[in-house]
Structure 1
Amino acid sequence: MAINVALGVAIMVSFLAFGLFDRNQKPALWWFAACIAGVASGLIEYSMPPLEYTAIARFAIYACFAVCLSCISIGLWLRYLRRVPVLPITIVFMAAIVSYALISELPRGSLLRAFVYQGSYSTIALVGVAAVWRGMDRSALDRTLLAVMLLFALNFLMKPPIMVLLGGNGGLAQDYLATDYAMVSQTMMAIVTILLAFALGLRTMADILGTIQKRSDIDRLSGALTRDAFHREVSRSLWQADRERTPKALILCDLDHFKLVNDTFGHQVGDLVIAQFGALLESFRRPGDVVGRIGGEEFCILLSRCDEGTARLFAEQLRSTFESLDATGGRSAHRCTASFGVTEMRPAEAFEAAFSRVDKALYEAKSAGRNCVRLARPDIDDQDAEAGGAVEPDALQKRRSFRVVGRTQG
């Protein structure tokens, strides 16, 4: 019992540290609360012989551990489904309390009493299992957590038959800690608790690292993905689109006369224009779309489940909306505009091929006077790009550098 309490304290400190390190880790704070309730239950039980196991103390042990399990389940629901099923969890918790009242007068060694007592714990834990099952992404980490949670829930149902096999749990409550069943039960609980804490800790650390990675992938000025992050997300999205055989389109956009904006109004205004355009792209972005800033004033958008006609309308709406914005924040009467190239990607087409094609469409938009949208034309040279396979991490920068030759700047 002392080992279980010590484990609970160590785990409690860990989850508190996770929650304080990243304030978005609300599940970790619920698991911290679970540790508090679990440690409280253990401390009461550990100090019971001097207190002679009063009815209130026995209920406190049971209720504190039920709260512990409820907090674990709430944390799992927040992590995997971003919501808490307040009514179901409340019903399950209250049912556990009522069950305790109903079995409190049954003999301590009664198998029925043991099954109801431990079954209530198992039911609360299964609420957490349901959250992982419904929200998991089938990763190895989530599969492991699901397996550990199932083992944790089944651990309670295994205790009643073990109690019978080992000769009971003591004639009186005070005798419990001296029985073989208590040793086995507490050892089982320590093992599954360590496994669960380890799995939850790994899940939390992975989430924190993912948040850190995501922050490093975001261009702070525009809010769009950085060039390398854009490349990674595009690779994932194209794989998904090819697997589902859904259309996708590519838009390349460039702010017009951006160098003139910087030279005339200063880099502070130029930064504001970039930020305004990035915010506009984010407001237009749909679930599944990928938006990246691949150059100083150049952005690329991969539209999922989108054909050429829809992509053209998307780009035209972006163009007209940006033209109507006061992108300089009232610091100048100058109206900023942008030019757009659009193409629909072919089935299983390499990104480099589509990028080459949409790059030429953007060049045509610039040559046509800027502030317009141009569709990519079929080009037999695309076959060479398609043969190149997936775009390299620095391919976008190389392509952009190559494009400077022959293009009117801005």
Structure 2
Amino acid sequence: MRRPWRKGGVPRAGARRQRMSEGRLYLLAGPAVSLVVACVFLLVWLHHRKRSYVPFFAVAFCAYAMAALSQLFQIPAGVGLNTMVSGLVYTFGIFCLVQGVLARFGKAGAAPVLAAVSVAILGLLYYFMYVDRSLVARIYVQNFGYGVMFLFAAVEIFGASGRRKVDRILFWVFLLFGLHFFVRTVLTLSISPDLFALDRMRTEGADARTIGLLFRRSPFWQVLNFSLLVSGLLVALALLGAIAVDAMDELERQGRIDPLTGLANRRGFDDLAQELIADKTSHPQSLVYFDIDRFKGINDGFGHATGDLVLATVGGLVARVVMPRDVAARRGGEEFVVLLASTSARSAFHFAERMRAELRRTSFPMLPPGAVVTASFGVAERRPDEDLADLLHRADQLVYAAKHAGRDLVLTDDGVLAVPVVGQGAG
């Protein structure tokens, strides 16, 4: 009897074990990479806690690794139990990944839809495992179900407002990743005829190892693991890129925001105001410029900390009265400006008068009881082809004139004055 040796002195049984070992090492690449990616997302979140959507990504990639390892090592044992447990963890991972991306875009209402799709996937897995057993049906259910979840995310991303280049990249990544579940499944199953016979072989008492070997050698399984490894890395890179862009945007935003009032600073106002001026649909535009009266006296008499609280309170008042398209800012010191969209000089005058009266009525607990804070206002409607610097200069001159006219006034281009209620200002 011939000994089972291969050419070169390697036993055939040993060669088979070597091939299986190499195959298992190849299959371990996906879970290993996913765990590394999950750790990266976790570290990113630990350094940027404000990005509340990042933990979703860490959990998603960790869940994929756990589900893949569950299938690879058959933990828990038993085909039915392993199918349901790994399916549950896979589905949970996809849910977290999609929910994290949609949370980044502020799509808070997407969770019920994703949960419904997830429940449907798990329900059908159970049906085709224990009621009408069919491996091919389970393959279709999981892959098509996950494809639907990714396509849903792509549609939601496409409908998000203010999409940037990185958002368009995420849209295409999720769209193509979702479509790949459909295309890959159909094509690989068409060249994996053995999979259609595995359920029959199992019911006829075929050896479980033989069935497992046929499944792992199928083109479907090989392409599945390779495609998920590559596409998973692409998704991870796209998400990390989006997080990096978000961080840079946050730094830029902080450079355009006055930290004391939460309004735009001088730089932020100039940038946003130029964008608004360029928008023809926002014409006519008017500028409201105001300066807190005798603010130096507040700083000198009660301290700069009190002065800062007064500025923050005034900033909160401005933020409450402006509309989303308007541009409000603290330009420096005690000076505030509001560029009003689609607002004539007369409407801007009434806006400024309401704000002047509201400021006079505002309570400032950091000041002595009965103290009143007032401001002097200048209102100028933007002229055709007038640039921002000239508009600011005109409104500033009106503020100067209002100061000299007695303070706590609103002065416009045509000299209209809002006569204040008789009272003593605090500053």
Quickly name the TM-score band, shorter chain normalised.
0.7 to 0.9
Which runs of no fewer than 5 residues in structure 1 stay unpaired? 379-409
Task: Name the residue aligned to 2:49.
Answer: 23
TM-score (structure 1 length as normaliser): 0.84
* Distance in 1 between residues matched to 2:80 and 2:404, nearest whole Å: 86
Which of 244, 253, 262 lines up with 2:299 in the alignment? 262
Contact kept, 8 Å, 1:118 with 1:159, in 2: the verdict is: no
Match of 1:296 in 2: 333
Matches within 5 A, 1:60-75: 60-75=85-100
5 Å-filtered alignment, 1:10-409, equals: 10-48=36-74, 53-104=78-129, 105-108=132-135, 110=136, 114-168=139-193, 170=195, 171=198, 172-239=211-278, 241-242=279-280, 244-327=281-364, 329-331=366-368, 333-377=370-414
Query: CA separation of 1:295/1:180 partners in 2, compared to 1, >3 Å: closer, same or farther?
Result: same
TM-score, length basis structure 2: 0.81
For residues 37 and 325 of structure 1, the distance between their equivalents in structure 2, rounded to whole angstroms, comes to 53
| Corresponding residue SS for 1:294 | strand
Counterpart CA distance in 1 for 2:282 and 2:340 is 14
Deviation for aligned residue 1:52: 6.0
Q: SS at 2:329's partner residue?
A: strand
Task: Output the aligned Cα RMSD.
Answer: 2.4
Instruction: Find the aligned partners of 1:316 and 1:204 in 2 and give their Cα distance.
Output: 43
SS at match of 2:332: coil
- Higher RCO (C-alpha under 8 Å, 6+ residues apart): 1
Quote the Cα distance in structure 2 between the aligned partners of 1:297 and 1:129: 46
Cα distance in 1 between the residues matched to 2:233 and 2:193: 26
* Worse overlay, 348-357 or 225-234: 348-357
Q: Is the 8 A contact 1:250 1:301 kept in 2?
A: yes
The structure whose Rg is larger is 2
Cα offsets for 1:160-207 (capped at 9, x unmatched): 333234334654245322333322221111111111111111112222
**DSSP-derived class of the 2:159 partner:** helix
Percent of counterpart pairs with the same letter?
25
Q: In structure 2, what is the Cα distance between the partners aligned to 1:45 and 1:168?
A: 21
Partner SS for 2:105 = helix
Distance 1:2 1:337, change over 3 A: same
Take 2:394 and 2:138, find their aligned partners in 1: how far apart are those partners? 73
Distance in 2 (alpha carbons) for counterparts of 1:251 and 1:316: 10
| 2: CA distance, partners of 1:169 / 1:207 | 48
Measured against aligned partners, the alpha-carbon deviations of 1:356-405 in whole angstroms (never above 9, x if no partner) come to: 22122212211211100011249xxxxxxxxxxxxxxxxxxxxxxxxxxx
Contact persistence 2:166–2:245 (CA under 8 A): no
Distance 1:88 1:75 in 2: 14
For 2:128 and 2:354, how far apart are their aligned partners in 1? 67
Deviates more, 1:18-27 or 1:338-347: 18-27
